[in-house]
Amino acid sequence: MSLKRIKGNGLFLIGDPHIAATPPGQRLSSYSADILDKIEACFKRAKELGMVPLILGDLFNWPRENSNSLLVDLIALFRTYNPAVLVGNHDKYQARFTPDVSMAVLDAANVMHLMNEAGPSFILETPEGNVLVGASPDGFPIPKTFDRGEIERAELQGDSVEFIKVVWVTHHNVAFPEYKKPHYAIKEISGIDWVINGHIHRPGLTITEGATTWANPGNITRLAFTKYTLERKPQATIWTPSSVDLEKWDVPHRDFYEVFPDQEFPLEIEDAEAAESKFLQGLERLAWKRTHEGSGLKQFLEENIDPDEPESKLIWDLYTEVTDANR
């Protein structure tokens, strides 16, 4: 094996950009340009700091439905900065990474370091020494243990005979506190110093178990129209070999109400459950829920349509027909 070597002072971590040509959810029409600007701002900052930019999965919101002009813009941007990019669940079509997905186009254009396979991905050559960066893309397990000695013997010679750190990037349902779909427990992984996770959009506390530190920096893109999104700042994060925790960097971003409609927040789930007639309340809100992709309508239907009723199939067929026709 001969791993790619990339020089840098550390990693500049960019969580789940979810770029799309069509705005997802409630986001307004400038979405694509807004996210491109954010990615570029991150790359520029990474360059100023001499860091390697690394996207933690879900570069795309939809794996294939991206315009050629968006791909051309991304290729031009990536060519200058050559980021490392982990494959997330949104980057794959029907759970597979094939030449058919948009990210495969960027890879074929040779403008990024694709992290599409599980295992050691590249050697980060820092002033302090060599760091091994490994990956578990979406769908691949996080290792239970890692034999760094084998890779050291194969890859390192001369003065440097060991990695000063091993960092593993993941895109998984890791059991950070308050995360509702935990699958992977946070525990020591022999041979791995850091696990840095994408996928969970809400930033989490960094947790150390034994010799392994787990971090969940959160995403840079505001997707959900909620009070929480209003309050939080989109942030990228920085890792260096001497990091005890990731350092946060505020990504330049527009005002919340420049990117979302200036309307009331939807009811919190608990409130909604207490309400007497969810269906009528929902109907009143349907105008608000009209979005490019019909996601508000989809949510409304899911909450209110009983799949056992005979008319349900007809309603879903209509929904599919209407939303697909809008693409």
DSSP states along 156-197? --TT--S-SEEEEEE-S-B--TT-SS--BPP---BT-SEEEE
CB of 221 to Mn ion, least distance (A): 9
16 in contact with Mn ion (CB under 5 A) = yes
Residues 6+ apart with CB under 8 A from 57: 16, 86, 87, 88, 89, 90, 91, 137, 138, 171, 198, 199
Minimum gap (Å) between residue 316 Cβ and Mn ion: 25
* Separation of alpha carbons 279 and 301, rounded Å: 10
Least distance (Å) between residue 105 CB and Mn ion: 20
Q: Which amino acid is at 279?
A: F
Q: Which residue is nearest to Mn ion (CB)?
A: 58
State in angstroms the smallest separation of the CB of 56 from Mn ion.
9
- Give the residue with the Cβ less far from Mn ion, 59 or 131: 59
Contacts 24+ apart (CB under 8 A), 181-189: 184/142, 186/214, 187/212, 188/212, 189/142, 189/143, 189/144, 189/145, 189/146
Stretch 285-304 residues interacting with Mn ion (CB under 5 A): none
Please identify, using beta-carbon distances, which residue of 87 and 123 lies nearer to Mn ion: 87
| 34 binds Mn ion, rule: CB under 5 A | no
Q: Among residues 116 and 243, whose Cβ is nearest to Mn ion?
A: 116
Considering only 2-10, 13-21, 149-157, 286-294, which stretch makes contact with Mn ion by CB under 5 A? 13-21
* 138 lines the binding site for Mn ion (CB under 5 A): no
Query: How far, in Å, CA of 298 to CA of 4, rounded?
Result: 44
Task: Name which of residues 45 to 74 contact Mn ion (CB under 5 A).
Answer: 58
| Sites of contact with Mn ion (CB under 5 A) | 16, 58
